[in-house]
Amino acid sequence: MTEKLKSLLKSVQSVCVLTGAGISAESGVPTFRGEGGLWSRLKPEELANFDAFMKNPENVWAWYQHRKEIMHSVQPNAAHKALAEMEKIIPDFTLITQNIDNLHYRAGSKNVLELHGNIERSYCIKCGKYYSDVQITKEKPIPYCECSGIIRPDVVWFGENLPIDVFDKAVEATRRCELLLSIGTSAVVYPAAGLPLQAKEHGSYVVEINVEYTELSPYVNETIIGRAGEVVPALLEIMKEERQ
């Protein structure tokens, strides 16, 4: 970590954070890419797009049910908790996540921009009604709405647009922040991956935290190689200095 970043952390008033699957890896949630990643053994085109869902909703629901069970069995880690603390001490703090695992809320973050949805929510594709407690069973492997429409998970699939109001807020935040932290993302899925670049264009200092270099690395001000669960709490400690 450079001296420049240390001194910025002590004084910064406007911070934006973009998180990806890597922040939840230490909690035990599998990432998508890389060794052991979900997309190395499963096909996104069979599980994470609307046509696949309409062709075989049972299969897609079974996969989301499985992931939901994993997510319920894990706990937020030190990185999620440190970000919830940062929200309390930084006057203008925006947490943007690509994750659907709900772990930021469970760690105590209040204001989270969920770009790719949330696995706990679902909605009817016919009438749009939202559900928060859809249960899948062997007898009822596909959930239906009271209007008879199929209910789908409220997650963004390949080929679908991000929720526009959420994305707009994310863009605004990246344009005004002084510091952007990109944590645990391979930075290959757009438009989310473009947010750190936008921040940089608007004069923000951009720092990446990852266990390895990524496609974003050549464009950031600093890459800190390390585990999110160790690096993010360390950044928080520096931020807290001189703010008491």
* Binding positions for ligand OAD, rule: CB under 6 A: 20-22, 25-26, 31-34, 37, 48, 98, 116, 156, 184-186, 189, 209-212, 214, 227-228
As measured in angstroms, the least distance from the Cβ of 106 to ligand OAD is: 18
12: nearest Cα among 109, 85, 91: 91
Q: Quick check: is 116 catalytic?
A: yes
Question: Would you say 94 or 99 has its CB closer to ligand OAD?
Answer: 99
Comparing every residue's Cβ against ligand OAD, the nearest one is: 22
Question: Would you say 145 or 199 has its CB closer to ligand OAD?
Answer: 199
As measured in angstroms, the least distance from the Cβ of 55 to ligand OAD is: 18
As measured in angstroms, the least distance from the Cβ of 243 to ligand OAD is: 25
Question: Would you say 31 or 145 has its CB closer to ligand OAD?
Answer: 31
Question: Would you say 122 or 210 has its CB closer to ligand OAD?
Answer: 210
As measured in angstroms, the least distance from the Cβ of 113 to ligand OAD is: 13
Among 66, 80, 116, 202, the active-site one is: 116
Phi, psi (rounded to 5 degrees) for 151: -95, 140
152: nearest Cα among 207, 214, 96, 100: 100
Residues taking part in catalysis? 116
